[in-house]
Amino acid sequence: MSHNEPAVLFAEETIQQRVKELGRQVSADYSAVDELVLIGVLRGCYIFLADLSRCLTIPRRIDFMAVSSYEQKTTPGTLRLIMDTRTDIAGKHVLIIEDIVDTGRTLHYLLEMLGSRKPASLRTCTLLRKPDRLEKDVQIDYLGFDIPDLWVVGYGLDYADRFRALPYIGFLEEDC
Ligand code: IMP
Ligand code: MG
C-alpha cells in the first residue's frame, strides 16, 4: 500500500453534523425510557460511540462487546465472541452501535445473541453501511450513511490497524 493519505469520502464536519442528527433522533425516540444501554462493537465503534453518546440528552449507559471472525477458508465468516458486556441486559432498552455494516454477519450474530437475553427492546445503529455487500437481512434502525463498496478508514475504522484516528472517513485508492 502506498503512503498516501486516504481520499476523503466524508469530511469531519459532515460526520459531526450527521452524528448530531442521529443523536437528536435517538434522544427523541427514547425520551420516555429510564435508561438506554448503548453497546459498542469494538474496536471500530469507539470514536462514533464517544461522539454519539455525548450528543444524547437521555440517561444512558455505555458497554462494549468484541467479536472476531475466523478467516479460515473452510468456514468463512465464522464469528466468535471475544468480549461480552458487563451489563445484564434483561429488561433493558438496548441499542447496538456499529461502525460499519458490510456483509451484515456481525450484526446478525449480535442481534441473535443479545435478543436471546430478553432485553425490553433491541435496536441497531451504524454509522456506515455498504448495501452492495449485504448478505444478511439485518434491520438497521439508525443509519449514518450508505456507501459504495470501498474499503473505508478513519473515524475509528482501520486498515490493518492503521488510520483509526483520522478525523474524516476516507477510502484507500489502491486495491489492497
Ligand atoms: P460484517 O460482519 O461483514 O458486516 O463486517 C463487519 C466488520 O467488518 C465491521 O464492523 C468492520 O470492523 C469490518 N469492516 C467491513 N468493511 C470495512 C471497511 O470498509 N473498513 C473498515 N472496516 C470494515
Ligand atoms: Mg465493527
Query: Model confidence over 114-123: pLDDT tens digits?
Result: 999 999 999 9
Residue 69: the pLDDT is 81
Q: Which residues contact 45 (CB under 8 A, 6 or more apart)?
A: 97, 98, 99, 156
Tell me the pLDDT tens digit for each residue of 10-48: 999 999 999 999 999 999 999 999 999 999 999 999 999
Place of cell 456506515: 128
Supply 102's cell numbers. 458490510
Tell me, yes or no, whether 127 lies in a domain.
Answer: yes
Q: Is the C-beta atom of 106 inside 6 A of ligand 1?
A: yes
Q: Are 79 and 111 in contact (CB under 8 A)?
A: no
Tell me, yes or no, whether 78 lies in a domain.
Answer: yes
Tell me, yes or no, whether 43 lies in a domain.
Answer: yes
* CATH code of the domain in which 94 resides: 3.40.50.2020
Tell me, yes or no, whether 19 lies in a domain.
Answer: yes
Q: Is the C-beta atom of 110 inside 6 A of ligand 1?
A: no
Residue 5 predicted with pLDDT over 80: yes
Closest ligand to the CA of 64: 2
Q: Which residues contact 21 (CB under 8 A, 6 or more apart)?
A: none
Q: Is the C-beta atom of 102 inside 6 A of ligand 1?
A: yes
Q: What is the DSSP letter of 29?
A: H
Give this prediction's pTM: 0.94
Task: Read off the pLDDT band of 72 (50, 70, 90).
Answer: low
Q: Is 125 helix (H, G, I), strand (E, B) or coil?
A: strand
Tell me, yes or no, whether 172 lies in a domain.
Answer: no
The domain of 76 spans: 13-148
Residue 74: the pLDDT is 59
* Count of domains for the chain: 1
Tell me, yes or no, whether 29 lies in a domain.
Answer: yes
Tell me, yes or no, whether 169 lies in a domain.
Answer: no
- Among candidate residues 102, 132, 141, 161, the one labeled active-site is 102
Residue 120: the pLDDT is 98
Question: What is d(CA 64, CA 43) in angstroms, rounded to the nearest whole number?
Answer: 9
Tell me, yes or no, whether 164 lies in a domain.
Answer: no
Which of 102, 150, 162 should be mutated for ligand 1, with most atoms under 8 A from CB? 102
Catalytic-residue membership of 102: yes
Q: Is the C-beta atom of 157 inside 6 A of ligand 1?
A: yes
Residue 175: the pLDDT is 55
